[in-house]
Amino acid sequence: MIFIFGANDKVVERQQQYAQEHCGNCNNITNWILEKNATYASLFFISIIPIKTRYIYYCPICKNGRKLEKEEYERMK
């Protein structure tokens, strides 16, 4: 029997913030996106367990943003 292992990235949660942010990169003022994504270990292309989670907050126009700590992310949700 052959097992196929892999890893894939998935967006777990995504929400647009009500508060507007000024982006220093594209100079626009917009509602930034708060996003949680995770890399899943997969078996036969089916995601089974998350092996790495990232929390990011970014500008929807130019995708410039920053990484957040889990606590920071939870506070902003």
Residues contributing to the site for Zn ion (CB under 5 A):
23, 25-26, 59, 61-62, 64
Q: How far is the CB of 6 from Zn ion (least distance, A)?
A: 33
Q: Which amino acid is at 60?
A: P
- The Cα-based distances of 69 to 1, 11, 64, 72, 73 in angstroms read 41, 17, 17, 5, 6
- Indicate the residue among 53 and 64 with the shorter CB distance to Zn ion: 64
Name the minimum Å distance from CB 56 to Zn ion: 13
SS3 for 5? Answer: strand
Which residue type occupies 21? E
Q: Based on CB atoms, which residue is closest to Zn ion, 7 or 29?
A: 29
- Residue number, 7 or 26, with CB nearest to Zn ion: 26
